[in-house]
Chains A and B, each alone.
Chain A
């Protein structure tokens, strides 16, 4: 937990010194490796481990996107704040240390979760870029947001496919009617709407930037809201 606390401090102070963002990421990766070694599996179950993985993914994806920006300071500042908030939240949640049920010990489950959180991270990056676009109105930022969404959408779709394969092998059906699946469909339909809307010239710019920001709200509800407020097939 000390490593995680240190990574939180790094993210917090990365607003002043950007290299601390990278140090925070390195510490968080070290924390995940230590958890994996302790548990003998990938730490991807429960709010604690998934929040850590999400934060590390946001910080990692922020690097290439940040360096593509002219004014990267504000972008990295927002990323640092977001990473600090998620890390703080992870520190308040309980670790899932008990052995996994046999059905969760599969490549399909691991890929499903890893890809889902990587896509969530990219949707988060897209939301930050959207907010920067609303302030600066630079077309290049909106273009970057589109790229983040497109790659995130690709990973999210792949995650859903892997989830479907896993569900079929574990429970005999690729689809179950639970709030998590329904919200996942909402999320997928939302970003499908985004990628189609952008084909229309008059939707490009401010409207898509706003959609990119709103999309992360849907992501957060799908991830945390459904798991905390509703009974579903997914723990997290």
Chain B
């Protein structure tokens, strides 16, 4: 019983938040000096973070393992503190003032969850394609066909834009057509297909096929976080007046 009480006390405490945020900062600082000089980090974008972590030596990954643990504690701490705050202050008249910090916390939790999903299931593949190229993008026989590559070049020879027409084929039949432009990827079947690089002569495209399962969660988290923080600032300004 004592252990449970101590454990809940630990997770309910603001001191836990501060200590673990401090530790998080220390590990991020360590990582900021380890990462730039380590070649292995170049591969990190092509496979999920957790797969990469298991393959690499602990001497370069210890800070990332540490960060994962600290973020797990901070996530639990956030949930406990938010519940405690709502229960303790439930009778306040300014409910928006009570709820807005909790919305910020929910936004933070969504972002952590997004990173967790991406750390488990994100992937990236690079492939050079030309007009007529076929690229297999999933295990269910779905193939991407590059129909047309259109590059815009200005008077000075700079590439100013592009439009890559693609078709999705299943068992040889087209079921979807799309156009990839700068900042306008083809997002289909959980994949984000975009142009990483393009060459005019001869026409060739470096296509990037990404799977980012946390993207929507991260966006939702970001919107919630901002909604909470903006509401909180407006309320604080109103209260001071």
Which A positions have Cβ atoms within 8 angstroms of B? 98-99, 101-103, 105-106, 108, 150-151, 153-154, 157-158, 160-161, 164-166, 168-177, 179, 182-183, 185-186, 189-190, 192-193, 196-197, 199-200, 230-231
Contact = CB atoms under 8 A, between A and B. Distances in A.
23 contacts: A150-B236, A157-B225, A161-B222, A164-B219, A166-B183, A168-B212, A171-B194, A172-B193, A172-B208, A172-B209, A172-B210, A173-B45, A173-B124, A173-B210, A174-B114, A174-B214, A177-B35, A177-B44, A182-B28, A189-B21, A189-B28, A199-B14, A231-B36
A137 B44 CA distance: 48
Nearest to A221: B32
Contacts of B112: none
B160 interface: yes
B230 A154 contact: yes
A189 B159 CA distance: 38
Interface of A is mostly: helix
Contacts of B225: 157, 161
A185 B182 CA distance: 27
Interface string B205-241: 0001110101100110011011001100100100000
Given A177-B35, A189-B21, A168 B215 contact: yes
Given A172-B210, A189-B21, A161 B226 contact: yes
Contacts of B156: 99
A99 B153 CA distance: 12
A151 B236 CA distance: 11
A196 B229 CA distance: 13
7 nearest A-B residue pairs (beta carbon):
A172-B210, A102-B182, A172-B192, A161-B222, A193-B21, A169-B183, A106-B183
B65 interface: no
Contacts of B201: none
B68 interface: no
A172 B115 contact: no
A199 B236 CA distance: 14
Name which of B22, B35, B41 has the most chain A CB atoms within 10 A of its CB: B35
B154 A173 contact: no
Contact of A175 (B118, B192, B219, B226): B118
Interface in B1-25: 14, 17-18, 21-22, 24-25
Given A151-B233, A182-B31, A196-B21, A169 B222 contact: no
Interface residues of B, number: 52
Contacts of B212: 168, 172-174
B161 interface: yes
A153 B233 CA distance: 11
B121 interface: no
A142 to B, nearest CB: 15
Nearest to B229: A154
Contacts of A192: 21
Given A108-B183, A157-B226, A168-B192, A150 B17 contact: no
B196 interface: yes
B184 to A, nearest CB: 7
B158 interface: yes
A99 B160 contact: yes
Interface in B101-148: 114-115, 118, 122, 124
Given A172-B212, A189-B28, A196 B14 contact: yes
A44 B29 CA distance: 28
Contacts of A182: 28, 31-32, 35
Contacts of A98: 158
Contacts of B184: 169
Interface in B23-51: 24-25, 28-29, 31-32, 35-36, 41, 44-45
A102 B28 CA distance: 33
Contacts of A101: 159
Contacts of A171: 194, 196, 208, 210
A179 B192 CA distance: 24
A179 B229 contact: no
Contacts of A193: 18, 21-22, 25
Contact of B28 (A153, A177, A186, A230): A186
B162 interface: yes
